[in-house]
Structure 1
Amino acid sequence: MKLVSASNFILLLCTWAEINAQTLNLDVVCKLPDALRESSALWFDRDERVFYSLNDSDRKNEFHSFDSTGAWIATYPISNATNVDWEEMTADDEGTMYIGDFGNNSNNRQDLKIYILPHFFDHKDSSIHAEIIRLKYERQSAFPPPDASKNFDMEAMIYFNDSLHLFSKNRTTPYTGITYHYTIPALAGDYTLLPRDSFNTGGANYLQNWVVGAALSPDKKSLILLSYDKMWLFRSFVGSSFLQGNVTQYKFPFLSQKEGVSFSTNSDIFISEESVPGASVNGNLYHAKLDLTSTQEQGELKKNIVKTRLISDDYLRKETFETEIYNLSGQLIMRIAPHVEVISFTSFPAGVYFMKENSKFKSQTTLLIKY
């Protein structure tokens, strides 16, 4: 009889965290231009193959464009804007750009804004006059609030269906891990923010779990929330209920101050990073490729899990159904015919797997833990 060790109990306890975690390799594209040493946002123009970014701490009311070699192209000042703490940029399908001046590190600001640059990509005037959205939080009455309530910072924004969707950067102590999802019309005016949804990024370390950027794919089927050493990919959501979709967590190979993310295709993303003096990696533009096929399959498998089974002796008896075994990434690794009654796991390393059983009437998934 094979005994379950303490380490195997830890494996069991960590199963759900492991299911949601994959590693995403980042390839360096270029160094960001010197004008963007505090890059805090990123937008990729798919028509012209040009990148846009902005600084969050130099207090200049301007943003910049550059190419994939890191060569600076142009600077775009906004004549009626101030840069208190610019943190995000996004655009709609009509060429209007939105810049979020809603960074709020101390949770004490009462002048939060979003600048609207109508049809920016159509003319790119040398000096731009912005329309303005002014924001306040329904739930904030103290500036700053107590440490346990400091969830009024913001660094993530996307455009979807005539609205701007904002995601909070959590600065609570003790850290709760909650990011709030807010929605406002993408029109100039004064708006009060009230959460419509939330997501717990988990963990006790804010540097590895707070949300610092967001991006929506061109086909509007994938949402990314970015952090310093990981990101969360949401898919299979309905309408704008992004945080209710299937979520996959991607770990980056290293922690750095990544703050900008943008899709170039439905499965290709770029990530920008601030320059931090003395850091081993900084000031780069990265590219990553997403495997959306396995991500979608993984989401369906997780949704249909009905039970969990431990495999301790390398063999598992199954029902007389067609059966498929998937790895943690949602990739098919074995298919077993209905007449086969026992599955051999002798060649499988210890880890977590999905077993999908397909009958005439339904499909169900068993979570398998081999130790």
Structure 2
Amino acid sequence: MRFIPLLPAALAILLTASCSEAQSDKSIASNKVKGGDRRKDKDAAAAIAGLRRVGSIKNVVPESSGLAPAETSGNYYSFGDDGNAPTLYEITSEGKPVRTIDVNAPNIDWESLSRDPQGNYYIGDCGNNESTRRDLAIYRVRPDAPKQVGKISFSYPDQSEFPPKKKQRNFDCEASLWHDGKVWLFTKDRAQESTSKVYTVPEQPGDYTAKLVAKLAIPGEVTDAALRSDGRRLVLLGRGELFILDGNTWADILKATPRRVDLTGAGQTEGVAFKDDNTLLITTEQGDLFEFKLP
């Protein structure tokens, strides 16, 4: 396991509402996940302790960009991001296709998926690469009634320009999860890759201004989130990396010092879900399905 210590706990979360200073736009994809020699990438992925490729969804889910457990134990839902159909794909933990569900909602840029204990699923249509969108939404849907979709529309309280200056572009959200009656949003810092802002919106359909709750010191671009069933471990997936935050309570988790795991070589990692308390399933845009044993 390759852990890299991060900032001290006192700096791990900044509970102010001011925007972070940022550099010019940059992407880690070219040297972490997209480019390079695929054979070398596979060798690098094989060398990561606890990581095992368990299947391929390349011909099942186009550009997988989210992952959540299905109602059937051992199965999962995923979907493609912008440019793909508004469809949920049910797959097994080995990536075998089970069924497809057409959702009565547009896929402008679907990026994340989570569920609540009552069986409602929350599709985050809040990908916002250039921080220009004014139609951000989360769709609440049940797979047994995909035509009946509730819309949670929202805006950010600290955004007044569309787009803002490049150094302030931290309004792209590719990670969300349901917890304690709310949908929690984690931004992908496209400016300086240092801060993931945490917002909440209610779980009920409506039109809201999101509440800014915290700023996490995450030195990367967050692409998905998952919370362990006991509520004591949060994982934030990045592009070729993973961040782990532990705590006895949700408040403690948001104050925890993140631990970073290097997943260089695994691909453009975009979807994550807990398979059990110690194991994650991870999907990539390239169509790989990995199992990762947590420490």
Q: After TM superposition, is the score higher than 0.5?
A: yes
| 1:104 pairs with one of 119, 123, 128 | 128
Identity of aligned residues (%): 29
Superposed displacement of residue 242, structure 1: 2.8
| Inter-CA distance 137–24: structure 2 relative to 1 (3 Å threshold) | farther
The 5 A counterparts of 1:1-371 are: 16-17=5-6, 24-45=49-70, 47-79=72-104, 81-118=105-142, 120=143, 124-125=144-145, 127-172=146-191, 175-202=192-219, 209-254=220-265, 256-275=267-286, 283-291=287-295
Superposed displacement of residue 46, structure 1: 7.0
Superposed displacement of residue 193, structure 1: 2.0
Q: Tell me, yes or no, if the aligned pair for 2:136 and 2:154 is still in contact at 8 Å.
A: yes
Number of matched pairs:
254
> Which structure has the higher relative contact order (CA within 8 Å, separation 6+)?
2
Superposed displacement of residue 251, structure 1: 1.5
**Secondary structure of 1:220's match?**
coil
- C-alpha distance in 1 between matches for 2:190 and 2:248: 27
> Which structure 2 segments of 5+ residues have no match?
10-47
| Inter-CA distance 69–59: structure 2 relative to 1 (3 Å threshold) | closer
Q: Tell me, yes or no, if the aligned pair for 1:25 and 1:252 is still in contact at 8 Å.
A: no
Q: Tell me, yes or no, if the aligned pair for 2:6 and 2:258 is still in contact at 8 Å.
A: no
Q: Tell me, yes or no, if the aligned pair for 1:237 and 1:246 is still in contact at 8 Å.
A: no
- C-alpha distance in 1 between matches for 2:166 and 2:254: 25
Q: Tell me, yes or no, if the aligned pair for 1:139 and 1:194 is still in contact at 8 Å.
A: no
Kindly report structure 1 stretches of 4+ aligned residues shifted beyond 4 Å.
Answer: 15-20
Superposed displacement of residue 40, structure 1: 0.2
**Cα offsets for 1:41-60 (capped at 9, x unmatched):** 01123742112100002341
Q: Tell me, yes or no, if the aligned pair for 2:116 and 2:179 is still in contact at 8 Å.
A: yes
Using structure 2 for the length normalisation, give the TM-score: 0.80
**Cα offsets for 1:152-201 (capped at 9, x unmatched):** 100001111111111001112xx151110111211111111232111122
**Secondary structure of 1:60's match?**
coil
Q: Tell me, yes or no, if the aligned pair for 1:227 and 1:258 is still in contact at 8 Å.
A: yes
- C-alpha distance in 1 between matches for 2:87 and 2:203: 21
Superposed displacement of residue 266, structure 1: 1.1
Tell me how large the CA RMSD over aligned residues is.
2.1
Using structure 1 for the length normalisation, give the TM-score: 0.64
| Inter-CA distance 176–259: structure 2 relative to 1 (3 Å threshold) | closer
| Inter-CA distance 59–45: structure 2 relative to 1 (3 Å threshold) | closer
Which of these two proteins has the greater Rg computed from alpha carbons?
Answer: 1
**Cα offsets for 1:129-167 (capped at 9, x unmatched):** 201100111111111111011001000011111111110
